[in-house]
Amino acid sequence: MEKIKQYLIDFQKREFDVFDRDLKINFTKEFIVSIIGARRVGKTYFLFSLINKIKDRKKVLYVDFDLPQFLDFDGRDLKGLVNLHIQTFGELEYIFFDEIQNIKNWQYGLKEIYEEKRYFIFITGSSSKLLSKELATQLRGRTITYILFPLSFREILSLKDIPVPAKLISTSEKNKILFEFNQYLENGGYPQIFKEKGLKEEIVRDYKDLVLFRDIVERYSIKNIYVVKRLFEYLMSSFAKEISIDKFYNYLKSQNVSVSKKTLYNYLEYFESSIFFHFLRSYKTKGRFKKVYINDIVFVEKEFGRRLENLVFVELLGRNENVYYFKNKFECDFVIQKKQAIQIVWELNEENKKREINGLIEAMKYFKIESGIILTYNQEKEIKLDKYRIQILPVWKWLLDGKNLR
């Protein structure tokens, strides 16, 4: 316990260079606040930003369970950490447990602390499946869960002290914003890459390895590494596209690789639980078909039309929208039921205009929506067809729309 005690003492002296995120949470002793997000998306620094707002650091217990000194820690002993903090500093009001899913039996110890209703409790994790399953069984009705995504475009501008203009925008303001948006399309929104652009290639490579080997292979004790690597590559190359496990299964079979479809679907669930991949279901086919998106565009190839679509999807997730894609005779990229139909295209031109508009109107008719949006790189106009109104907007302007804050 001496090493842990020293860790707690050292934390009291730490200073944090952090910035506020758009995600807003409520402090409450009635619920455990759970913050989940992909690895290195900024969960720890989000906690630090909350801690910075607390005037008396002695009232704060922070533990990072990703550190080696907690490798064999049993979650049933979490109350012991609380007692150690109080014995050392005399008081405690705020508890922050970072990457809590890394320790066994954490839900039992957390429940014991929560039942006292004496503390503001915050936990983070980088596996939606592990956290949600264990929270649901042991802590049902006792948690409020928030998801932290990579930096939004609005957050990027805020960090660079670039004001978001009102509706009337000058040419110089637009040029500056477009420059930053081009950088965003190139480098994504991962905080570490935002701070260290020169190390982007190394960070991207190391991060992919972490997701594949630590979050998937090690966490789920996978033996068939060849297959899981091929599936990882298939998902990465298919971003913003439909995927088919049947086709992937047949491909492996043609290569004389033996694996069951059930195993492949299990692997798909593991990838989704990492929060690095997101899967979008088709409304009409009730989930049979899926499109795959990546948590941040910096990890995928530079097909900028698909990057635009990926950006919009992650932004919709950040806004807590319940999203589907619609496929019938034509296809509509995103539908928010009873609210909006959205189509994404790099540039609306004579070659694709009919296809994109037909897909949008087909979805609007099906869901009885009278207005839709086509998001492009940098076009803006309005189209009226019968009773349907279609607004064409630049993605960067839609991302900055004050009505659509996360």
Tell me the pLDDT of the chain (406 aa) as tens digits. Answer: 889 999 999 999 999 988 889 999 999 999 999 999 998 899 999 999 999 999 999 999 999 999 988 989 999 999 999 999 999 999 999 999 999 988 999 989 999 999 999 999 999 988 765 556 566 666 778 888 899 999 999 999 999 999 888 777 889 999 999 999 999 999 999 999 998 989 999 999 999 999 999 989 998 999 999 999 999 999 999 999 999 999 999 999 999 999 999 999 999 999 998 999 999 998 876 556 699 999 999 999 999 999 999 999 999 999 989 999 999 999 999 999 888 999 999 999 999 999 999 999 999 999 999 889 999 999 999 999 888 899 999 999 999 985 544 4
pLDDT for 1: 81
Q: What is the structure's pLDDT at 403?
A: 53
What is the secondary structure of 338-367 as a DSSP string? TTEEEEE-S---TTTHHHHHHHHHHHHHHH
pLDDT at res. 406: 45
Long-range pairs for 215-221: beta carbons < 8 A, 24 or more residues apart = 215/39, 215/126, 215/127, 215/274, 215/276, 216/267, 216/270, 216/271, 216/274, 219/127, 219/130, 219/270, 220/270
Under a CB-based contact definition with an 8 Å cutoff, are residues 5 and 84 in contact?
A: yes
Q: What pLDDT score does 130 carry?
A: 54
What is the sign of the dihedral through the CA atoms of 50, 47, 276 and 296? positive
Q: How far apart are CA 145 and CA 370, in angstroms?
A: 33
Type of residue at 153? F
pLDDT of the residue at 404: 47
Domains, the chain, in order of start with CATH, read: 2-147 (3.40.50.300), 156-404 (no CATH)
DSSP element (H, E) containing 218: none
pLDDT of residue 364: 95
Type of residue found at 40: R
| CA separation for the pair 76, 93 (Å, rounded) | 20
* pTM of the predicted structure, to 2 decimals: 0.91
